[in-house]
Amino acid sequence: MIRNTKPLCAVFLVAASVNGDDLTYPPEEELNPNTWYYRYPAYPPYCSTPSEMSNRIIPMVRDRDPLIGETRIVHATAVIRHGARTPWSSNIQCWDGFWDSKDTGVWDCDLTTIMAPPSPEQVDEEEDKESTSSWDTDNSFFLFEKHYDALGYPEAGLTNELNGTCQLGQLLLQGYEQEIQNGRILREAYAYEINSYDHDEKMRLIDLSGYTYKAWDPYHLRLRSDNDQRTIMSGQVLLRGLFDEEVADEFYRTRQFPKIQVHTADRSKDILDPNEDVCPKLKEIKENALQSEEYKAWDNSQSVKELREFANRTLGYASEDGILDCLMTTICTDRTLPEAINDYGSANTSWFEALEEYNNRKHNFVMKHNDSEYAKLSMAPLWAEIMDNIYYFVDKDSIPGSNFSSPKLALFSGHDTTIMPLLASLGPKLWNDTDWAPYASMFIIEVHELIDVGLTNQSVYTTDFAFRLLYNGRILTNLVEGCPPESELCDMKIFLDIVGSIATRSPDCYAEEKADEPLVVAIQQAKKMMTTREGVYIFLSLVFFSATVGAVGAFVSMTGGLPMIQSKLIGSAVEDDEEGRRGLQDGAFEDEFVNGN
């Protein structure tokens, strides 16, 4: 799990038991936000400063809704973005001198990762009884702390990607604190003790009493993350903020750390954010959006041209790609911005904000183009995963398998590019073109059961369930088409109709076959042919015919037949080869090779 470089912290999520009486967390001064965010007079919402986080409290469902009687929450899905992090790549061209400066180009981290060997129950009792027996009688074993400090020799050219002890895209202490706050926000909204009556009955979701089950029981909590360090750790830290007191009690009582499963997958195959390798059609949709007249008109506008000219003249970078990461990882960690863009929040036109808005529009245009086609297709498998949990409560006939059990709280730890397309796929009003999901953003889908039918307007609520959408503490439900503007809860049928048309684990991801890709087309056709018996026969016949023609050709060549045709073919090949070499020398194929990379 996690620990600060000094005291042990949040190790309770390690799947193991530990001997000894010491279990300490970082002292508050080590996580004191007052030691951050001091260089600049104002910070973008992207940074999620303490004042920003304090505005994200989840509001209680109001008591006197004009359309609904009494309700009870039965499920919540929370999708979070990881907290503040290091740059995700060392190949981004930020501005002249960025990677050469110790202030912006060297990243040292205070968070490290703790690993533990398998717990005793994971050892196969039949294959290794002696090992299991020794573990049962002696629960002591090592914890392993990863330090990224083995390449600390810049004078010899041996350094990590970020020239210090941080990983690419690693969670920072600022991000740790943000996710602690997210956990406390969830605790305040949903957690209660069964014998206590100081929590609103409508919002009682997570029972902390521990009488019949633990709050982190897998039947009541599910943690899903991709395999990035920052997302896994963000989910773990959030759960510390949510269950800190109960986990400490459990450890002191049993001397064992609770085990919480983290459900993840190979990063290259995962679908927690758009994956164009898994779904090639997304590349086609993106290209169509960028070639649209609307996009070209904006991209060629005078204001965009002036912004590019300013950036190239004052910052010296060759591409706008990645500029948002450069801006935010710098200002949000109190590092030094170039003087030309050190103007965030100024009364005059801000070049910092202009660059930020340019990046956001460029990305969001693709995501929302053509009725959010990109967002809907990219999120289809994730929506299917989310809906498995929701269907269990509102439509059990739709769940996959009779043994499926849905958690009361499903936590998905992902990225900005997880939350933004999810919101965009729900309708045109839920996500603005110029917005970007800040660090530690949280999108929540609540499911409420309507238990007072007599006071509910049944012409508006046709089912026994309603939903509520929240994003960083703000209620978005009334922005969904068909939902009543005067109520914060909306009939679940509307949500199921919208998401039901999107959610699938097998979306149509086949890109159109292009005429300039004959080899790809031929391979695809061959694969299709081999899926039927008739196709196999045809394929084998073609192979046999080709082999026969080749043999005849070889015989004719060996016996000296058709000398004129043979010499012409050879001469043509030589001419083509020479022309190709001249083309390469003249740079004629430069774009082709660049695009190929």
* pLDDT bracket for residue 129 (50, 70, 90): very low
Alpha carbon distance 310, 304 (integer Å): 10
What backbone phi and psi angles, to 5 degrees, belong to 460?
A: -95, -40
pLDDT for the residue 27? 46
Using DSSP, state whether 250 is helix, strand or coil.
helix
User: In this structure, how many other beta carbons lie within 10 angstroms of the beta carbon of residue 186?
Assistant: 25
CA distance 486 to 307: 42
Strands 191-192 and 206-207: parallel
Q: Which carries the bigger pLDDT value, residue 498 or residue 93?
A: 498
User: How far does Cα 159 stand from its chain's mean position?
Assistant: 28
Give the residues across from 111 on adjacent strands: 4
How far from chain centre, in Å, is Cα 8? 28
Q: How confident is the model at residue 212 (pLDDT cuts 50, 70, 90)?
A: confident
Per residue in 460-474, pLDDT (tens digit) is 999 999 999 999 999
Nearest to 444 by CA among 26, 81, 36: 81
Asked if 274 and 378 touch (Cβ cutoff 8 Å), the reply is yes
Query: Residue 26: pLDDT above 50?
Result: no
Q: Is 191 helix (H, G, I), strand (E, B) or coil?
A: strand
pLDDT tens digits, residue range 39-84?
Answer: 999 999 999 999 999 999 999 998 888 899 899 999 999 999 999 9
Cα–chain center distance at 30: 28
Q: What integer is the mean pLDDT of 90-104? A: 91
* Residue 475: per-residue pLDDT: 97
Measured distance CA(399)–CA(422) in Å, rounded: 21
**Which runs of consecutive H residues, i.e. helices, occur in 114-228?**
129-137, 173-190
* Mean pLDDT to the nearest integer, 168-180: 96
Cα separation, 500 vs 32, in Å, equals: 44
Residue 491: strand pairing partners: 466
DSSP assignment letter at 126: T
Residue spans per domain, the chain: 45-85+171-502, 522-596
Assigned superfamily of 45-85+171-502: Phosphoglycerate mutase-like (3.40.50.1240)
**pLDDT at position 66, please?**
84
pTM: 0.80
pLDDT bucket at 13, cuts 50 / 70 / 90: very low
Which residues fall within 8 angstroms of residue 242, CB to CB, at 6 or more apart?
183, 184, 186, 187, 191, 206
With bands split at pLDDT 50, 70 and 90, how would you rate the model's confidence at 211? Answer: confident
> Which amino acid does the sequence have at 271?
I
For residue 262, what pLDDT is reported? 95
Query: CA 335, 314, 311: angle at the middle one, nearest 5?
Result: 90
What contacts 24+ positions apart, CB below 8 Å, involve 331-335? 331/40, 331/43, 331/44, 331/47, 332/43, 332/44, 332/46, 332/47, 332/84, 332/174, 332/439, 333/36, 333/84, 333/172, 333/174, 334/36, 334/37, 334/38, 334/39, 334/40, 335/103, 335/104
- Selection from 240, 248, 242, 249 nearest residue 187 by Cα: 242
- Packing angle between helix 229-254 and helix 173-190, nearest 10 degrees? 60
Residue-wise pLDDT tens digits, 376-429:
999 999 999 999 999 999 987 766 655 567 899 999 999 999 999 999 999 999
How far apart, in Å, are the Cα atoms of 429 and each of 3, 424, 479?
Answer: 41, 8, 6
The pLDDT confidence band at residue 11, using thresholds 50, 70 and 90, is very low
Candidate from 25-39, 53-67, 550-564 with smallest mean pLDDT = 550-564
**Higher-scoring residue by pLDDT: 486, 2:** 486
CB atoms within 10 A of CB 401: 7
**Above 70 in pLDDT, residue 587?**
no
What local confidence, expressed as pLDDT, does residue 582 receive? 34
**DSSP string spanning 484-517?**
-TT-S-EEHHHHHHHHHTT--SS---PPPPPTT-
Task: Report the C-alpha gap between 582 and 176 in whole angstroms.
Answer: 57
What would the 3-class secondary structure string for 429-470 be?
Answer: CCCCCCCCCCCCCEEEEEEEEECCHHHCCCCCCCCCEEEEEE
| Banded model confidence at residue 354, pLDDT cuts 50, 70, 90 | very high
**What per-residue confidence (pLDDT) applies to 15?**
28
Work out the mean pLDDT of the chain and round it to a whole number: 81
Question: How many angstroms separate the CA atoms of 68 and 454, rounded?
Answer: 9
597 pLDDT tier (thresholds 50, 70, 90)? very low
